[in-house]
Structure 1
Amino acid sequence: MITFEEVAEYHLNEIREIYNYYVLNTTISFHTEELDIEHIKASVMNNNPRFKSYAILDENQINGYVLITSYKSKQAYDISGEVTIYLKPDCLGKGIGKQALTFIEGEARKQGFHTLIATICMENTRSKSLFERNGYVQCALFKEIGYKFDRKRDIGSFQKIL
């Protein structure tokens, strides 16, 4: 059974391993170098209580993590958040992403968010499909905005009004 636990210090090493897998092997992350533990901590342990990160657990084993971060730093954007999900590669295709998305949308509603945005490399058809199946609509396309693995990459923004 999948459960969610707010990210704590003891989750950080596994979260770092998950994230750095995507850094080194995919275009899912646009980082090109591995992140150290301090950078991971800064990205998943926010001081603002509205922006939370959760470990995705199955029998106390981390399968991934899901988070809401600030969309932009200007106050008018406070009704919006950016949603991100990272799963261990061997946990893909098991419905965990959908469970994580449903969970984080519920948390977003509790925190008073109006809109959630997912930013996805357009080659990541798995994530695009997950978000579209769950009511997110592509609202932007940025052509050749990133450069990774010797190619320019496009990203799309997908939005859901809660």
Structure 2
Amino acid sequence: MSLTLRDATLADLSAITEIYRESVLNGVATYEITPPSEAEMRSRFETIISNGYPYVVALDGSGVIVGYAYASAFRTRTAYRFLVEDSIYLAPDARGKGAGKALLAHLVERCTELGFRQMVAVIGGAHPASIAVHRSAGFEHQGTMKATGFKHGRWLDTAIMQLALGDGQASDPPEDVYPDSLYRG
């Protein structure tokens, strides 16, 4: 599949909302049960980009958005400010064709450039394809939380994977990279 990756814009929110809607209704990557409105997706998008995190879309050869990904705060406590969580969602027709791998590689590169030191994947349903994509990018399995979600009439496990970015823990991070106002306590 021929792909183009670029920063997401407000004009992309209709396609992003539809991709997420399908994942909420039919998948286990998210534990949301009711798809959020486009207005809610806009609010989430604006929060992520206003805090300086990358949010990107993947377009197929005809210019149709087939997936999106973003990095965001894992937790809002100050000590977590060098750790990001990735999220990737794909249209059904784009799954298994390299779009997720391309989006993840792009996020890893961007977050490394931004000075983050660790990236974590919280994989709903311990989905094997998502685990494989993250493993191919160098993520290591850190654990599985059993029966953490109940969706589609069944209990779901959550896999946790992690990747060191840049120097990782080999050196102290610069203290002035992320404003404390972004975090609590």
Q: Does 1:149 align with 2:152?
A: yes
Show the 5 A alignment for 1:66-77: 66-77=69-80
Shift of 1:58: 2.4
Aligned match of 1:118: 121
Indicate whether 1:161 and 2:164 are aligned.
yes
Name the CA distance, whole Å, in 1 between partners of 2:154 and 2:112: 38
**1:1-162 superposed matches below 5 A:** 1-45=2-46, 46=48, 47-49=50-52, 51-59=53-61, 60-162=63-165
Q: 2:140 is aligned with what amino acid?
A: V
Asked if the contact 2:56–2:103 (Cα under 8 Å) also holds between the matched residues in 1, the reply is no
Instruction: Report the TM-score, using the length of structure 1 for normalisation.
Output: 0.93
**Cα shift readout 1:9-67 (whole Å, capped 9, x = no counterpart):** 11001001000101111112100011101221222332111x12111122422111010
CA contact (8 A) 1:12 1:40 kept: yes
Aligned to 1:22, the other structure's residue is in SS state: helix
1:71 offset after TM fit, Å? 0.7
More strand by share: 1
SS at the partner of 2:11? Answer: helix
- Identity fraction in percent: 26
Does the Cα contact within 8 Å between 1:3 and 1:56 map onto a contact in 2?
yes
C-alpha displacement at 1:97, in angstroms?
Answer: 1.4
Asked if 1 retains the 8 angstrom alpha-carbon contact of 2:72 and 2:84, the reply is yes
Q: 1:142 to 1:71 in 2, by over 3 A?
A: same
How far apart are 1:123 and its partner, in Å? 4.2
What are the ranges of 5 or more consecutive residues in structure 1 without an aligned counterpart? none
Specify the code of the residue in structure 2 equivalent to 1:87: L
> In the alignment, residue 21 of structure 2 is paired with which amino acid?
N
* Distance in 1 (alpha carbons) for counterparts of 2:136 and 2:5: 22
Larger Rg: 2
What is the alpha-carbon distance in structure 2 between the residues aligned to residue 100 and residue 55 of structure 1? 8
